[in-house]
Amino acid sequence: MINLELCQEMFDRVDKIAQLFRDRKLDNPHLVNEVLQELNGIYDYLNPLYLQAIVEEELYKAEQYIYHKENKEEKNTDTTAKKKADLEAEEYSKIRAKLEGYIKNIMTNITSCQSLIKTFEIQSNIK
């Protein structure tokens, strides 16, 4: 299981960058370029962990489904076995969801940085 504490530094940095966007502090191309590079680096670090979390969650759910489906004492239907597996995989689901949220945030911020850089280029050509 992925230890999210190892990702906390990256999460904190993404949160600080999001605050820069909210506070409208990304007002020069040099800073935006630095932020873009940092976001790309964070994405490169977190995305493989996110993909790993997806696999771990699905594998755990499959294992639990098989366990509950084949457990003769419980006599579970497919639906019941699936629900039990989903409940038992809750911790894996939380990890995947947190990583997914940060990955989506990073991708949105990368797109925003690229748009800002384009805007700065257009403005400098007008002057």
User: What is the domain extent for residue 99?
Assistant: 72-116
pLDDT of 31 reads 97
Residue 40 lies in a domain: no
Query: Would you say residue 88 lies in a domain?
Result: yes
User: Whose structure tokens read 């820069």?
Assistant: 20
- Paired tokens of 125: 């050509």
Given a cut of 70, is residue 127 above it in pLDDT?
A: no
Question: What whole-number percentage of the chain has pLDDT above 70?
Answer: 99
Q: Does 42 fall in a domain?
A: no
> Phi-psi category of 79—alpha, beta or left, where left has phi over 0 and alpha has psi -120 to 50?
alpha
Residues ≥6 apart with Cβ < 8 Å to 37:
none
Residue 20 near residue 26 (C-beta atoms within 8 A):
yes
**pLDDT confidence of residue 74:** 80
Most confident of 14-18, 74-78, 120-124: 14-18
Question: Distance of alpha carbon 42 from its chain centroid, rounded?
Answer: 10
Residue 122 lies in a domain: no
96 in any annotated domain: yes
In a domain, 15, yes or no: no
Average per-residue pLDDT for the chain = 95
CA-CA distance, 29 to 35, in Å (whole number)? 10
The answer to whether residue 32 sits within a structural domain is no
Domain count, the chain: 1
What share of residues in the chain are helix, strand, coil (percent, to 5)?
Answer: 85, 0, 15
In a domain, 60, yes or no: no
